[in-house]
Amino acid sequence: MFRAGGASVPGSQVEARALVEARLPEPTVARSRDALLRALHRDGAAATAAGLLAVSPDDGRILDRAGHPHPRRFALGPHTDGRSSGAFARPRTNAPAFRQNDATARALLLSLRDLSCRASLAV
C-alpha cells in the first residue's frame, strides 16, 4: 500500500496499491547515460548552458558548437532545446508539438530526396 499526503492539505492522505512515477530526469547531454547523446556531444554537437542538445528551431537539425546545423542529423524530444509545449496534445489540433514534428519530418524527407537524387546522378 502506498500512502501520500502533503503540507498543502494537512491531515489528508491518499492510499493506493501502485505508484507510477511519470517524470523525466533532468536532461543533460554531457552527463547523459545515453551513449548516442554523449557521442554526439563529444563529436561536436552543441549543448546549451542548461545541458540540452542545441537544435535548429526551424527544423530540428543538430547544431554544432559554431551554431551551424548538421546536414543530416536531426533531434526531437526532452533532451533538446527545441522542446515545445503540448507533449500530450490532442489529435487534429495543430498543436505546437505537432507543427515542430511536421517541420522536422519535411526537412528530413527533403534531405533524403536530395541524397537519392545525387545517388541516381552518380550512376
pLDDT digits (tens, 9 = 90+) for 73-121: 999 887 888 876 655 778 888 888 888 889 999 999 998 887 777 767 7
CB 59 within 8 A of CB 106: yes
What mean pLDDT is reported for the chain?
Answer: 84
Does residue 87 or residue 8 have the better pLDDT? 8
pLDDT score for 38: 87
pLDDT higher than threshold 90 for residue 45:
yes
The b-or-e profile of 55-86 (16+ CB within 10 A means b, else e) is: bbeebbbbbeeeeebbeebbbbeebbbbbeee
pLDDT score for 61: 94
- 123 pLDDT band (50/70/90 cuts)? low
Output the nine-digit C-alpha cell for 106.
519535411
